[in-house]
Amino acid sequence: MASNTANHDDSSINTPTDEPNSPVEAVNNNEQCENGSECTTVDDVLADSESYYNNAKKYWSNVSPTVDGMLGGFGSISFIDIRGSEQFLKHLYKQKPAPGRKRALDCGAGIGRISKNLLLPFFEQVDLVEQDEHFCQTARTELADFGSKLGTVFNNGLQNFVPEQGRYDIIWAQWVLGHLTDEDTVRFLDRCTNALARGGMIVMKENFTTGDVVDVDRTDSSVTRPLVQMKQLLKQANMRVVKEQRQTSFPKELYPVYMLALRPTIKK
């Protein structure tokens, strides 16, 4: 999917389900309702996961398959975003053991912005997973010049996607996990753990709130979580953070964006 501010292929600057999130600031679910009417809570929004995912799918089906569409109107940040991700990725190869450079997976890939500018130049082959078929078709066209380096483009939502066991050196999920419920986020990360090759890592790049409250964007059906809450979900998924870095040079009106490199927790 796309994302809220970095939408799909990034899946969102704000947040997307399985689409990339976009960098735009999401609606704060905790604002007071007018006339004292009862507000919908985060739990209410996520309680009906089928509607939650369907609403996001409907939203992204009406988004233009362009970089600006993927980034919620913030296409101008794409270069800065990719450069920050590139520097972060290069630092991961100083870790021991370092990941391989054979295969990567782009989650919530949208039209393939991240695959084109970051992953395909770096890895021998890249697979994409994207919920919107129109975006998948655009990605196949946009990335055709990479030939056999472009692997499979999976037309599927992350809440249902099961990656091949032991296949990927890097699994990149950007601006997309906000489109997943907490439970599906944990399940997805667990499936990704099984899909990592020896020494592999999962990288998430997401918007986070500055406080301790989850923000809900009812427009694209996504949430923006506090960083501390995401780390709780990572713990449930038996993942540990091996490197954390904040993206710099984004417009001040956007959410803080952090990159987290993850590996499975080592059982003693």
Binding residues: 108, 113, 158-159, 174
Paired sense of beta strands 168-174 and 150-155, if any: unpaired
Bind-site residues for S-adenosyl-L-methionine: 108, 113, 158-159, 174
Q: How many CA atoms lie within 13 A of 112 on its CB side?
A: 28
Residue 129: φ, ψ to 5°: -130, 125
12, 178 Cβ separation under 8 angstroms: yes
143, 127 Cβ separation under 8 angstroms: no
54, 160 Cβ separation under 8 angstroms: no
In whole angstroms, give the CA distance from residue 41 to residue 46: 9
245, 88 Cβ separation under 8 angstroms: yes
37, 199 Cβ separation under 8 angstroms: no
What is the separation, in whole angstroms, between the first and last Cα of the chain? Answer: 37
